[in-house]
Structure 1
Amino acid sequence: MPGGLVALLDDVSIIARSASASVDDIAAAAGRAGSKTAGVVIDDTAVTPSYVTGLSPARELPIIWKITLGSLKNKMLILLPGALILSEFLPAAIVFILMLGGAYLSYEGAEKVMEKLGGAKHGKTVDDEIEDPAAFEKQRISGAVRTDLILSAEIMAITLNEVAAETLITRAGVLAIVGLAVTVGVYGVVGMIVKMDDVGLHLAQKSNAFVRKFGRGLVAFMPWLLTALSLVGTVAMLWVGGGILLHGTHELGWHALYDATHGLEEAVASTSGSLGGILGWLTYAAASALIALVVGAILVFLLHNVFKIGHEEDHAAHEAAH
Protein backbone atom coordinates (compact mmCIF):
# COMPACT_ATOMS: atom_id res chain seq x y z
CA MET A 1 0.00 0.00 0.00
CA PRO A 2 2.74 2.52 0.88
CA GLY A 3 4.44 1.54 -2.38
CA GLY A 4 1.25 2.27 -4.29
CA LEU A 5 0.88 5.63 -2.52
CA VAL A 6 4.48 6.54 -3.28
CA ALA A 7 3.98 5.57 -6.92
CA LEU A 8 0.83 7.70 -7.06
CA LEU A 9 2.66 10.66 -5.54
CA ASP A 10 5.47 10.16 -8.05
CA ASP A 11 2.93 10.22 -10.88
CA VAL A 12 1.33 13.39 -9.48
CA SER A 13 4.78 14.97 -9.19
CA ILE A 14 5.61 14.10 -12.80
CA ILE A 15 2.27 15.53 -14.00
CA ALA A 16 2.83 18.68 -11.95
CA ARG A 17 6.32 19.16 -13.35
CA SER A 18 5.01 18.54 -16.85
CA ALA A 19 2.23 21.08 -16.36
CA SER A 20 4.72 23.57 -14.94
CA ALA A 21 6.98 23.06 -17.96
CA SER A 22 4.00 23.57 -20.27
CA VAL A 23 3.13 26.84 -18.52
CA ASP A 24 6.76 27.94 -18.82
CA ASP A 25 6.75 26.99 -22.52
CA ILE A 26 3.55 28.94 -23.10
CA ALA A 27 4.89 32.00 -21.26
CA ALA A 28 8.19 31.91 -23.15
CA ALA A 29 6.47 31.41 -26.51
CA ALA A 30 3.99 34.20 -25.71
CA GLY A 31 6.90 36.52 -24.96
CA ARG A 32 8.58 35.71 -28.29
CA ALA A 33 5.37 36.04 -30.26
CA GLY A 34 4.29 39.21 -28.45
CA SER A 35 7.48 41.02 -29.42
CA LYS A 36 6.79 40.28 -33.10
CA THR A 37 3.37 41.96 -32.92
CA ALA A 38 4.75 45.25 -31.52
CA GLY A 39 4.22 47.19 -34.75
CA VAL A 40 0.57 46.20 -35.07
CA VAL A 41 -0.01 46.95 -31.37
CA ILE A 42 1.50 50.43 -31.80
CA ASP A 43 -0.78 50.98 -34.77
CA ASP A 44 -3.84 49.77 -32.85
CA THR A 45 -3.02 52.03 -29.88
CA ALA A 46 -2.40 55.02 -32.11
CA VAL A 47 -5.50 54.59 -34.28
CA THR A 48 -8.14 53.91 -31.60
CA PRO A 49 -8.25 57.38 -29.91
CA SER A 50 -9.48 58.83 -33.21
CA TYR A 51 -12.76 56.96 -32.76
CA VAL A 52 -13.71 59.10 -29.73
CA THR A 53 -12.03 62.36 -30.74
CA GLY A 54 -14.60 65.14 -31.01
CA LEU A 55 -17.36 63.23 -29.21
CA SER A 56 -18.83 64.05 -25.80
CA PRO A 57 -16.27 63.47 -22.99
CA ALA A 58 -18.97 61.63 -21.03
CA ARG A 59 -19.20 59.04 -23.83
CA GLU A 60 -15.45 58.44 -24.29
CA LEU A 61 -14.91 55.64 -21.74
CA PRO A 62 -18.25 53.88 -22.48
CA ILE A 63 -17.33 53.83 -26.18
CA ILE A 64 -13.84 52.49 -25.46
CA TRP A 65 -15.35 49.83 -23.20
CA LYS A 66 -17.70 48.71 -25.99
CA ILE A 67 -14.77 48.59 -28.42
CA THR A 68 -12.77 46.58 -25.85
CA LEU A 69 -15.58 44.01 -25.53
CA GLY A 70 -15.81 43.82 -29.32
CA SER A 71 -12.06 43.28 -29.50
CA LEU A 72 -12.17 40.45 -26.96
CA LYS A 73 -14.99 38.78 -28.91
CA ASN A 74 -12.97 39.16 -32.11
CA LYS A 75 -9.92 37.50 -30.59
CA MET A 76 -11.37 34.86 -28.30
CA LEU A 77 -14.56 33.76 -30.08
CA ILE A 78 -13.62 34.18 -33.75
CA LEU A 79 -9.89 34.42 -34.34
CA LEU A 80 -8.49 32.05 -31.72
CA PRO A 81 -10.62 29.03 -32.73
CA GLY A 82 -10.14 29.87 -36.39
CA ALA A 83 -6.37 30.16 -35.98
CA LEU A 84 -6.15 26.80 -34.18
CA ILE A 85 -8.26 25.03 -36.82
CA LEU A 86 -6.15 26.61 -39.55
CA SER A 87 -2.86 25.64 -37.89
CA GLU A 88 -4.04 22.04 -37.55
CA PHE A 89 -5.51 21.47 -40.99
CA LEU A 90 -4.20 24.16 -43.35
CA PRO A 91 -0.99 25.74 -41.96
CA ALA A 92 0.18 26.76 -45.44
CA ALA A 93 -2.66 29.31 -45.59
CA ILE A 94 -1.19 31.40 -42.76
CA VAL A 95 1.27 33.21 -45.03
CA PHE A 96 -1.55 34.23 -47.41
CA ILE A 97 -3.67 35.54 -44.51
CA LEU A 98 -0.67 37.51 -43.27
CA MET A 99 -0.16 39.00 -46.73
CA LEU A 100 -3.84 39.97 -47.04
CA GLY A 101 -3.53 41.75 -43.70
CA GLY A 102 -0.30 43.38 -44.85
CA ALA A 103 -2.03 44.62 -48.00
CA TYR A 104 -4.90 46.02 -45.90
CA LEU A 105 -2.48 47.86 -43.60
CA SER A 106 -0.65 49.22 -46.66
CA TYR A 107 -3.97 50.41 -48.12
CA GLU A 108 -5.02 52.10 -44.86
CA GLY A 109 -1.64 53.76 -44.40
CA ALA A 110 -1.44 54.98 -48.01
CA GLU A 111 -4.98 56.34 -47.84
CA LYS A 112 -4.13 58.34 -44.72
CA VAL A 113 -0.99 59.74 -46.37
CA MET A 114 -2.94 60.71 -49.49
CA GLU A 115 -5.65 62.39 -47.40
CA LYS A 116 -3.00 64.37 -45.51
CA LEU A 117 -1.53 65.49 -48.83
CA GLY A 118 -4.88 66.86 -49.95
CA GLY A 119 -6.58 63.79 -51.39
CA ALA A 120 -10.30 63.12 -51.04
CA LYS A 121 -11.48 61.96 -47.62
CA HIS A 122 -13.61 58.80 -47.40
CA GLY A 123 -16.34 58.25 -44.84
CA LYS A 124 -18.07 60.56 -42.38
CA THR A 125 -15.86 62.31 -39.80
CA VAL A 126 -16.46 64.45 -36.70
CA ASP A 127 -15.82 67.50 -38.89
CA ASP A 128 -19.09 66.79 -40.71
CA GLU A 129 -22.48 67.79 -39.34
CA ILE A 130 -23.78 65.01 -37.06
CA GLU A 131 -27.58 64.86 -37.10
CA ASP A 132 -28.00 61.69 -35.00
CA PRO A 133 -25.29 61.41 -32.29
CA ALA A 134 -26.48 57.96 -31.13
CA ALA A 135 -26.36 56.54 -34.67
CA PHE A 136 -22.98 58.18 -35.28
CA GLU A 137 -21.62 56.71 -32.04
CA LYS A 138 -22.86 53.25 -33.06
CA GLN A 139 -21.22 53.73 -36.48
CA ARG A 140 -17.96 54.73 -34.79
CA ILE A 141 -17.99 51.65 -32.55
CA SER A 142 -18.79 49.34 -35.47
CA GLY A 143 -15.97 50.88 -37.51
CA ALA A 144 -13.52 50.51 -34.62
CA VAL A 145 -14.46 46.86 -34.04
CA ARG A 146 -14.09 46.11 -37.77
CA THR A 147 -10.66 47.72 -37.83
CA ASP A 148 -9.77 45.85 -34.65
CA LEU A 149 -10.79 42.58 -36.31
CA ILE A 150 -8.25 43.19 -39.10
CA LEU A 151 -5.49 44.25 -36.72
CA SER A 152 -6.31 41.42 -34.30
CA ALA A 153 -6.22 38.92 -37.15
CA GLU A 154 -2.73 40.18 -37.98
CA ILE A 155 -1.67 39.89 -34.34
CA MET A 156 -3.02 36.34 -34.09
CA ALA A 157 -1.54 35.31 -37.44
CA ILE A 158 1.89 36.73 -36.52
CA THR A 159 1.67 34.99 -33.15
CA LEU A 160 0.60 31.71 -34.74
CA ASN A 161 3.43 31.93 -37.24
CA GLU A 162 5.91 32.21 -34.34
CA VAL A 163 4.57 29.14 -32.50
CA ALA A 164 3.59 26.96 -35.47
CA ALA A 165 5.92 24.17 -34.32
CA GLU A 166 4.50 24.03 -30.78
CA THR A 167 1.81 21.65 -29.51
CA LEU A 168 -1.87 22.49 -29.92
CA ILE A 169 -2.21 23.27 -26.19
CA THR A 170 0.80 25.59 -26.26
CA ARG A 171 -0.50 27.34 -29.38
CA ALA A 172 -3.91 27.83 -27.76
CA GLY A 173 -2.34 29.16 -24.56
CA VAL A 174 -0.03 31.55 -26.39
CA LEU A 175 -2.83 32.91 -28.60
CA ALA A 176 -5.07 33.44 -25.56
CA ILE A 177 -2.33 35.15 -23.52
CA VAL A 178 -1.20 37.42 -26.35
CA GLY A 179 -4.79 38.26 -27.33
CA LEU A 180 -5.82 39.13 -23.77
CA ALA A 181 -2.62 41.05 -22.98
CA VAL A 182 -2.79 43.09 -26.18
CA THR A 183 -6.47 43.96 -25.68
CA VAL A 184 -6.06 45.03 -22.04
CA GLY A 185 -2.84 46.88 -22.82
CA VAL A 186 -4.05 48.71 -25.91
CA TYR A 187 -7.43 49.82 -24.62
CA GLY A 188 -6.12 50.57 -21.13
CA VAL A 189 -3.58 52.96 -22.65
CA VAL A 190 -6.21 54.40 -24.99
CA GLY A 191 -8.54 55.03 -22.04
CA MET A 192 -5.81 56.94 -20.21
CA ILE A 193 -4.91 58.95 -23.31
CA VAL A 194 -8.45 60.15 -24.05
CA LYS A 195 -9.07 61.18 -20.42
CA MET A 196 -5.78 63.06 -19.98
CA ASP A 197 -7.38 66.35 -21.02
CA ASP A 198 -10.10 65.86 -18.37
CA VAL A 199 -7.40 65.23 -15.77
CA GLY A 200 -5.67 68.41 -16.94
CA LEU A 201 -8.88 70.43 -16.61
CA HIS A 202 -9.40 69.05 -13.10
CA LEU A 203 -5.85 69.96 -12.06
CA ALA A 204 -6.16 73.42 -13.62
CA GLN A 205 -8.88 74.22 -11.06
CA LYS A 206 -6.76 73.36 -8.00
CA SER A 207 -5.53 76.02 -5.57
CA ASN A 208 -1.84 75.16 -5.92
CA ALA A 209 -0.24 77.35 -8.60
CA PHE A 210 2.18 74.65 -9.78
CA VAL A 211 -0.61 72.07 -10.08
CA ARG A 212 -2.79 74.55 -12.02
CA LYS A 213 0.08 75.30 -14.38
CA PHE A 214 0.73 71.58 -14.89
CA GLY A 215 -2.96 70.98 -15.60
CA ARG A 216 -3.11 73.76 -18.19
CA GLY A 217 0.06 72.41 -19.79
CA LEU A 218 -1.48 68.94 -19.96
CA VAL A 219 -4.58 70.28 -21.71
CA ALA A 220 -2.44 72.21 -24.19
CA PHE A 221 -0.26 69.14 -24.80
CA MET A 222 -3.12 66.77 -25.70
CA PRO A 223 -3.75 68.00 -29.29
CA TRP A 224 -0.03 67.61 -29.99
CA LEU A 225 -0.08 64.10 -28.53
CA LEU A 226 -3.08 63.03 -30.59
CA THR A 227 -1.47 64.44 -33.74
CA ALA A 228 1.75 62.58 -32.95
CA LEU A 229 -0.19 59.35 -32.32
CA SER A 230 -1.93 59.71 -35.67
CA LEU A 231 1.47 60.10 -37.37
CA VAL A 232 2.95 57.16 -35.45
CA GLY A 233 -0.07 55.03 -36.32
CA THR A 234 0.27 55.78 -40.02
CA VAL A 235 4.01 55.06 -40.00
CA ALA A 236 3.42 51.83 -38.06
CA MET A 237 0.74 50.74 -40.55
CA LEU A 238 3.13 51.19 -43.47
CA TRP A 239 6.16 49.71 -41.72
CA VAL A 240 4.29 46.62 -40.50
CA GLY A 241 2.31 46.17 -43.71
CA GLY A 242 5.42 46.42 -45.86
CA GLY A 243 7.37 44.07 -43.62
CA ILE A 244 4.62 41.46 -43.79
CA LEU A 245 4.49 41.70 -47.58
CA LEU A 246 8.28 41.37 -47.85
CA HIS A 247 8.38 38.29 -45.63
CA GLY A 248 5.38 36.79 -47.40
CA THR A 249 6.87 37.14 -50.87
CA HIS A 250 10.13 35.67 -49.57
CA GLU A 251 8.35 32.62 -48.14
CA LEU A 252 6.49 32.17 -51.45
CA GLY A 253 9.78 32.09 -53.35
CA TRP A 254 9.93 35.67 -54.67
CA HIS A 255 13.21 36.80 -53.12
CA ALA A 256 14.17 39.95 -55.05
CA LEU A 257 12.55 42.64 -52.86
CA TYR A 258 13.34 40.82 -49.61
CA ASP A 259 16.99 40.37 -50.55
CA ALA A 260 17.31 43.97 -51.77
CA THR A 261 15.88 45.51 -48.58
CA HIS A 262 17.95 43.29 -46.30
CA GLY A 263 21.02 43.96 -48.44
CA LEU A 264 20.42 47.69 -47.99
CA GLU A 265 19.96 47.19 -44.26
CA GLU A 266 23.24 45.27 -43.97
CA ALA A 267 25.10 47.85 -46.07
CA VAL A 268 23.98 50.70 -43.80
CA ALA A 269 24.65 48.69 -40.65
CA SER A 270 28.17 47.73 -41.73
CA THR A 271 29.17 51.34 -42.50
CA SER A 272 27.59 53.11 -39.50
CA GLY A 273 29.87 52.03 -36.68
CA SER A 274 28.30 51.82 -33.22
CA LEU A 275 24.95 53.05 -34.57
CA GLY A 276 24.91 50.35 -37.24
CA GLY A 277 22.23 48.22 -35.60
CA ILE A 278 19.77 51.08 -35.11
CA LEU A 279 20.41 52.75 -38.48
CA GLY A 280 20.27 49.41 -40.26
CA TRP A 281 16.89 48.62 -38.70
CA LEU A 282 15.59 52.12 -39.52
CA THR A 283 16.70 51.63 -43.11
CA TYR A 284 14.83 48.34 -43.37
CA ALA A 285 11.74 49.88 -41.71
CA ALA A 286 11.83 52.84 -44.10
CA ALA A 287 12.21 50.55 -47.12
CA SER A 288 9.30 48.41 -45.88
CA ALA A 289 7.14 51.51 -45.41
CA LEU A 290 8.01 52.77 -48.91
CA ILE A 291 7.04 49.43 -50.46
CA ALA A 292 3.77 49.49 -48.49
CA LEU A 293 3.09 53.06 -49.63
CA VAL A 294 3.47 52.05 -53.28
CA VAL A 295 1.31 48.91 -52.88
CA GLY A 296 -1.25 50.84 -50.81
CA ALA A 297 -1.47 53.69 -53.33
CA ILE A 298 -2.18 51.17 -56.11
CA LEU A 299 -4.92 49.59 -53.99
CA VAL A 300 -6.42 53.00 -53.16
CA PHE A 301 -6.52 53.89 -56.86
CA LEU A 302 -8.10 50.56 -57.82
CA LEU A 303 -10.72 50.56 -55.06
CA HIS A 304 -11.74 54.23 -55.28
CA ASN A 305 -11.25 55.04 -58.96
CA VAL A 306 -11.72 51.74 -60.77
CA PHE A 307 -14.15 49.76 -58.62
CA LYS A 308 -15.65 52.95 -57.08
CA ILE A 309 -16.02 51.28 -53.68
CA GLY A 310 -15.14 54.29 -51.56
CA HIS A 311 -17.04 56.70 -53.78
CA GLU A 312 -20.25 54.66 -53.57
CA GLU A 313 -20.08 54.67 -49.76
CA ASP A 314 -19.47 58.44 -49.72
CA HIS A 315 -22.37 59.04 -52.13
CA ALA A 316 -24.71 56.93 -49.99
CA ALA A 317 -23.68 58.81 -46.86
CA HIS A 318 -24.22 62.12 -48.68
CA GLU A 319 -27.68 61.08 -49.85
CA ALA A 320 -28.63 59.89 -46.36
CA ALA A 321 -27.56 63.22 -44.88
CA HIS A 322 -29.90 65.07 -47.24
Structure 2
Amino acid sequence: MYVCAYVVVLAFTCVAAASPVIEHVEVIDEGDSFLDNPHYLNNEQIGELFARLSRDYPALAQTYSIGRSIQGRELHALALNAPAPNGNGDDLLRPMVKLVANIQGDEALGRQIVLYMAEYLASSYQLDTEVQRLLNTTEIHFLPSCNPDGFAAAKMAKMQWILLIALIPLAAQGYIIKEDESFLQPPQYISQEQLEDLFARLEKAYPEQARVHSLGRSLEGRNLIALQISRSVRQRPLLTPPVKYVANMHGDETVGRQLLIYLAQYLLGNYERISHIGQLVNTTDIYLMPTMNPDGYALSQ
Protein backbone atom coordinates (compact mmCIF):
# COMPACT_ATOMS: atom_id res chain seq x y z
CA MET A 1 0.00 0.00 0.00
CA TYR A 2 2.94 2.34 0.63
CA VAL A 3 5.76 2.97 -1.79
CA CYS A 4 8.00 4.13 1.03
CA ALA A 5 7.73 5.00 4.69
CA TYR A 6 8.60 8.30 6.28
CA VAL A 7 9.74 8.76 9.85
CA VAL A 8 8.46 11.78 11.72
CA VAL A 9 10.78 12.99 14.45
CA LEU A 10 8.99 14.70 17.29
CA ALA A 11 10.72 17.15 19.63
CA PHE A 12 8.81 18.11 22.74
CA THR A 13 8.61 21.61 24.15
CA CYS A 14 7.01 22.81 27.35
CA VAL A 15 4.26 25.40 27.42
CA ALA A 16 4.38 27.80 30.32
CA ALA A 17 0.95 28.63 31.67
CA ALA A 18 -0.48 29.92 34.88
CA SER A 19 -2.29 27.09 36.63
CA PRO A 20 -3.95 26.43 39.95
CA VAL A 21 -2.20 24.42 42.63
CA ILE A 22 -2.41 20.70 41.92
CA GLU A 23 -2.96 18.76 45.12
CA HIS A 24 -2.20 15.33 43.71
CA VAL A 25 -0.44 14.17 40.59
CA GLU A 26 -0.50 10.51 39.56
CA VAL A 27 2.82 9.54 38.02
CA ILE A 28 2.67 6.41 35.87
CA ASP A 29 5.89 4.43 35.74
CA GLU A 30 5.61 3.18 32.18
CA GLY A 31 7.42 0.02 31.18
CA ASP A 32 9.22 1.08 28.03
CA SER A 33 12.43 -0.91 28.29
CA PHE A 34 11.53 -2.57 24.98
CA LEU A 35 12.42 0.72 23.28
CA ASP A 36 16.08 0.30 24.26
CA ASN A 37 18.29 -0.60 21.30
CA PRO A 38 15.52 -0.05 18.71
CA HIS A 39 15.79 -2.25 15.64
CA TYR A 40 13.57 -4.17 13.23
CA LEU A 41 12.88 -7.79 14.16
CA ASN A 42 12.99 -10.63 11.65
CA ASN A 43 10.25 -13.24 11.49
CA GLU A 44 11.99 -15.70 13.82
CA GLN A 45 12.54 -12.96 16.41
CA ILE A 46 8.83 -12.07 16.24
CA GLY A 47 7.98 -15.67 17.09
CA GLU A 48 10.43 -15.62 20.00
CA LEU A 49 9.03 -12.29 21.25
CA PHE A 50 5.43 -13.51 21.20
CA ALA A 51 6.44 -16.74 22.94
CA ARG A 52 8.20 -14.74 25.67
CA LEU A 53 5.18 -12.46 26.16
CA SER A 54 2.97 -15.53 26.54
CA ARG A 55 5.33 -16.94 29.18
CA ASP A 56 5.76 -13.65 31.06
CA TYR A 57 2.06 -12.70 30.99
CA PRO A 58 0.14 -16.00 30.80
CA ALA A 59 -3.11 -14.40 32.02
CA LEU A 60 -3.01 -11.76 29.27
CA ALA A 61 -1.15 -13.06 26.22
CA GLN A 62 -1.76 -16.05 23.96
CA THR A 63 0.41 -16.64 20.90
CA TYR A 64 -0.79 -18.58 17.86
CA SER A 65 -0.20 -18.98 14.14
CA ILE A 66 -2.62 -18.39 11.28
CA GLY A 67 -0.59 -20.54 8.89
CA ARG A 68 2.49 -20.18 6.72
CA SER A 69 3.50 -17.92 3.85
CA ILE A 70 4.25 -19.12 0.31
CA GLN A 71 7.92 -19.48 1.25
CA GLY A 72 7.08 -21.34 4.44
CA ARG A 73 7.45 -18.58 7.03
CA GLU A 74 5.20 -18.70 10.08
CA LEU A 75 2.48 -16.04 10.30
CA HIS A 76 2.79 -15.17 13.99
CA ALA A 77 -0.14 -13.65 15.88
CA LEU A 78 -0.72 -12.61 19.48
CA ALA A 79 -3.97 -12.13 21.40
CA LEU A 80 -4.12 -9.81 24.42
CA ASN A 81 -7.04 -9.62 26.82
CA ALA A 82 -7.62 -9.79 30.56
CA PRO A 83 -9.66 -12.70 31.98
CA ALA A 84 -13.43 -12.33 32.07
CA PRO A 85 -14.67 -10.77 35.34
CA ASN A 86 -16.59 -13.89 36.36
CA GLY A 87 -13.64 -16.15 35.63
CA ASN A 88 -15.90 -18.62 33.80
CA GLY A 89 -14.53 -18.30 30.29
CA ASP A 90 -14.80 -15.75 27.54
CA ASP A 91 -16.94 -12.65 27.73
CA LEU A 92 -19.35 -13.09 24.82
CA LEU A 93 -20.02 -9.36 24.52
CA ARG A 94 -16.36 -8.34 24.52
CA PRO A 95 -15.43 -6.72 21.17
CA MET A 96 -12.52 -8.20 19.21
CA VAL A 97 -10.04 -5.87 17.50
CA LYS A 98 -7.37 -6.87 14.98
CA LEU A 99 -4.23 -4.92 14.12
CA VAL A 100 -2.62 -6.10 10.87
CA ALA A 101 0.58 -4.64 9.42
CA ASN A 102 3.20 -5.33 6.74
CA ILE A 103 0.67 -6.32 4.07
CA GLN A 104 3.14 -5.12 1.44
CA GLY A 105 6.75 -6.20 1.82
CA ASP A 106 8.33 -2.80 2.44
CA GLU A 107 5.91 -1.66 5.15
CA ALA A 108 8.44 -2.07 7.94
CA LEU A 109 7.39 0.83 10.15
CA GLY A 110 3.82 -0.32 10.80
CA ARG A 111 5.09 -3.83 11.51
CA GLN A 112 7.43 -2.57 14.23
CA ILE A 113 4.81 -0.24 15.74
CA VAL A 114 2.40 -3.17 16.14
CA LEU A 115 5.15 -5.12 17.93
CA TYR A 116 5.89 -2.18 20.22
CA MET A 117 2.20 -1.79 21.00
CA ALA A 118 1.87 -5.46 21.96
CA GLU A 119 4.86 -5.20 24.29
CA TYR A 120 3.64 -1.92 25.77
CA LEU A 121 0.15 -3.17 26.57
CA ALA A 122 1.37 -6.43 28.09
CA SER A 123 4.07 -4.81 30.23
CA SER A 124 1.93 -1.84 31.33
CA TYR A 125 -1.21 -3.73 32.37
CA GLN A 126 -0.29 -3.71 36.07
CA LEU A 127 0.98 -0.11 35.95
CA ASP A 128 -1.53 1.90 33.93
CA THR A 129 -5.26 2.03 34.69
CA GLU A 130 -6.09 3.02 31.11
CA VAL A 131 -4.32 -0.07 29.78
CA GLN A 132 -6.19 -2.16 32.35
CA ARG A 133 -9.50 -0.69 31.21
CA LEU A 134 -8.62 -1.39 27.57
CA LEU A 135 -7.63 -5.03 28.07
CA ASN A 136 -10.48 -5.65 30.51
CA THR A 137 -13.03 -4.65 27.89
CA THR A 138 -11.53 -5.72 24.54
CA GLU A 139 -9.70 -8.64 22.97
CA ILE A 140 -6.89 -7.39 20.74
CA HIS A 141 -5.21 -9.58 18.11
CA PHE A 142 -1.85 -8.51 16.67
CA LEU A 143 -0.61 -9.74 13.28
CA PRO A 144 2.54 -7.65 12.77
CA SER A 145 3.53 -9.23 9.46
CA CYS A 146 0.97 -10.39 6.92
CA ASN A 147 3.74 -10.66 4.32
CA PRO A 148 6.96 -11.97 5.92
CA ASP A 149 8.26 -13.07 2.51
CA GLY A 150 8.06 -9.52 1.17
CA PHE A 151 9.69 -8.13 4.31
CA ALA A 152 12.58 -10.59 3.97
CA ALA A 153 13.05 -9.57 0.32
CA ALA A 154 12.83 -5.80 0.97
CA LYS A 155 16.04 -3.76 0.86
CA MET A 156 16.94 -0.42 2.40
CA ALA A 157 16.93 2.45 -0.07
CA LYS A 158 19.23 5.45 0.08
CA MET A 159 17.18 8.27 1.59
CA GLN A 160 17.81 11.73 2.95
CA TRP A 161 16.06 12.04 6.30
CA ILE A 162 14.82 15.48 7.30
CA LEU A 163 13.12 16.87 10.39
CA LEU A 164 9.42 17.18 9.65
CA ILE A 165 7.94 18.37 12.93
CA ALA A 166 10.01 20.22 15.52
CA LEU A 167 7.18 21.26 17.79
CA ILE A 168 4.37 19.52 19.61
CA PRO A 169 2.61 21.02 22.63
CA LEU A 170 2.88 19.36 26.02
CA ALA A 171 -0.35 18.97 27.96
CA ALA A 172 -0.32 21.40 30.90
CA GLN A 173 -2.81 22.23 33.62
CA GLY A 174 -4.64 25.41 32.73
CA TYR A 175 -3.49 25.42 29.09
CA ILE A 176 -6.50 25.23 26.79
CA ILE A 177 -6.25 24.83 23.02
CA LYS A 178 -9.14 26.43 21.15
CA GLU A 179 -9.93 23.55 18.85
CA ASP A 180 -12.70 23.37 16.30
CA GLU A 181 -14.59 20.16 17.09
CA SER A 182 -18.00 21.22 15.85
CA PHE A 183 -17.87 18.48 13.20
CA LEU A 184 -18.27 15.88 15.96
CA GLN A 185 -21.86 16.96 16.62
CA PRO A 186 -24.02 15.09 16.04
CA PRO A 187 -21.89 11.95 15.64
CA GLN A 188 -23.16 9.86 12.73
CA TYR A 189 -22.00 7.75 9.80
CA ILE A 190 -22.49 9.49 6.47
CA SER A 191 -23.41 8.07 3.09
CA GLN A 192 -21.33 8.15 -0.10
CA GLU A 193 -23.33 11.11 -1.38
CA GLN A 194 -22.83 13.00 1.89
CA LEU A 195 -19.11 12.24 1.75
CA GLU A 196 -18.78 13.68 -1.76
CA ASP A 197 -20.76 16.76 -0.70
CA LEU A 198 -18.57 17.22 2.41
CA PHE A 199 -15.31 17.00 0.46
CA ALA A 200 -16.66 19.46 -2.12
CA ARG A 201 -17.55 21.91 0.66
CA LEU A 202 -14.12 21.51 2.27
CA GLU A 203 -12.43 22.18 -1.07
CA LYS A 204 -14.53 25.31 -1.52
CA ALA A 205 -13.93 26.54 2.05
CA TYR A 206 -10.17 25.88 1.97
CA PRO A 207 -9.12 26.29 -1.69
CA GLU A 208 -5.41 26.61 -0.87
CA GLN A 209 -5.20 23.65 1.55
CA ALA A 210 -7.78 21.17 0.18
CA ARG A 211 -8.31 19.50 -3.18
CA VAL A 212 -10.59 16.62 -4.17
CA HIS A 213 -9.23 13.89 -6.45
CA SER A 214 -11.14 11.08 -8.15
CA LEU A 215 -9.41 7.71 -8.46
CA GLY A 216 -12.09 6.26 -10.71
CA ARG A 217 -15.30 4.39 -9.99
CA SER A 218 -16.23 1.24 -8.13
CA LEU A 219 -17.78 -1.85 -9.68
CA GLU A 220 -21.26 -0.43 -9.06
CA GLY A 221 -20.30 3.02 -10.36
CA ARG A 222 -19.65 4.90 -7.13
CA ASN A 223 -17.01 7.61 -7.17
CA LEU A 224 -13.69 6.76 -5.46
CA ILE A 225 -12.57 10.07 -4.01
CA ALA A 226 -9.59 11.26 -2.01
CA LEU A 227 -8.94 14.60 -0.33
CA GLN A 228 -5.50 16.17 -0.55
CA ILE A 229 -4.49 18.43 2.35
CA SER A 230 -1.33 20.50 2.18
CA ARG A 231 -0.01 24.04 2.45
CA SER A 232 -0.57 24.56 -1.26
CA VAL A 233 -2.40 21.76 -3.05
CA ARG A 234 -1.77 23.25 -6.49
CA GLN A 235 1.99 22.78 -6.25
CA ARG A 236 4.07 20.55 -3.96
CA PRO A 237 7.69 21.42 -3.05
CA LEU A 238 10.18 18.76 -4.07
CA LEU A 239 11.08 17.60 -0.54
CA THR A 240 7.54 17.59 0.89
CA PRO A 241 6.78 13.94 1.76
CA PRO A 242 3.40 12.53 0.65
CA VAL A 243 1.41 10.49 3.17
CA LYS A 244 -1.76 8.55 2.39
CA TYR A 245 -4.48 7.19 4.67
CA VAL A 246 -6.84 4.59 3.18
CA ALA A 247 -9.84 3.14 5.03
CA ASN A 248 -12.92 0.97 4.44
CA MET A 249 -11.14 -1.61 2.27
CA HIS A 250 -13.76 -4.12 3.41
CA GLY A 251 -17.42 -3.21 3.43
CA ASP A 252 -18.02 -3.33 7.18
CA GLU A 253 -14.98 -1.27 8.25
CA THR A 254 -17.03 1.77 9.20
CA VAL A 255 -15.04 3.18 12.11
CA GLY A 256 -11.84 3.78 10.14
CA ARG A 257 -13.89 5.39 7.37
CA GLN A 258 -15.49 7.84 9.77
CA LEU A 259 -12.20 8.60 11.55
CA LEU A 260 -10.62 9.74 8.27
CA ILE A 261 -13.64 11.94 7.60
CA TYR A 262 -13.23 13.49 11.04
CA LEU A 263 -9.47 13.84 10.51
CA ALA A 264 -10.00 15.82 7.30
CA GLN A 265 -12.33 18.26 9.06
CA TYR A 266 -10.05 18.51 12.10
CA LEU A 267 -6.90 19.30 10.11
CA LEU A 268 -8.54 21.94 7.94
CA GLY A 269 -10.64 23.47 10.71
CA ASN A 270 -7.63 23.86 13.01
CA TYR A 271 -4.99 24.74 10.40
CA GLU A 272 -4.84 28.37 11.51
CA ARG A 273 -5.85 27.71 15.13
CA ILE A 274 -3.24 25.23 16.40
CA SER A 275 0.43 25.74 15.61
CA HIS A 276 1.44 22.08 15.37
CA ILE A 277 -1.51 21.31 13.06
CA GLY A 278 -0.39 24.14 10.80
CA GLN A 279 3.18 22.87 10.92
CA LEU A 280 2.05 19.34 10.04
CA VAL A 281 0.01 20.51 7.05
CA ASN A 282 2.79 22.86 5.92
CA THR A 283 5.44 20.13 5.88
CA THR A 284 3.54 17.11 4.51
CA ASP A 285 1.26 16.33 1.58
CA ILE A 286 -1.65 14.33 3.08
CA TYR A 287 -4.07 12.23 1.04
CA LEU A 288 -7.20 10.93 2.78
CA MET A 289 -9.28 8.21 1.12
CA PRO A 290 -12.04 7.33 3.60
CA THR A 291 -13.62 4.58 1.52
CA MET A 292 -11.88 2.23 -0.87
CA ASN A 293 -14.96 0.01 -1.03
CA PRO A 294 -18.11 2.19 -1.19
CA ASP A 295 -20.09 -0.72 -2.66
CA GLY A 296 -19.38 -2.91 0.37
CA TYR A 297 -20.19 -0.05 2.72
CA ALA A 298 -23.55 0.49 1.01
CA LEU A 299 -24.36 -3.23 1.31
CA SER A 300 -23.39 -3.35 4.99
CA GLN A 301 -26.00 -0.74 5.83
| Category of TM-score, reference length = shorter chain | under 0.3
Normalization by structure 1: what TM-score? 0.23
Bigger helix share: 1
The structure showing larger relative contact order (alpha-carbon pairs under 8 Å, at least 6 residues apart) is: 1
Normalization by structure 2: what TM-score? 0.24
Bigger strand share: 2
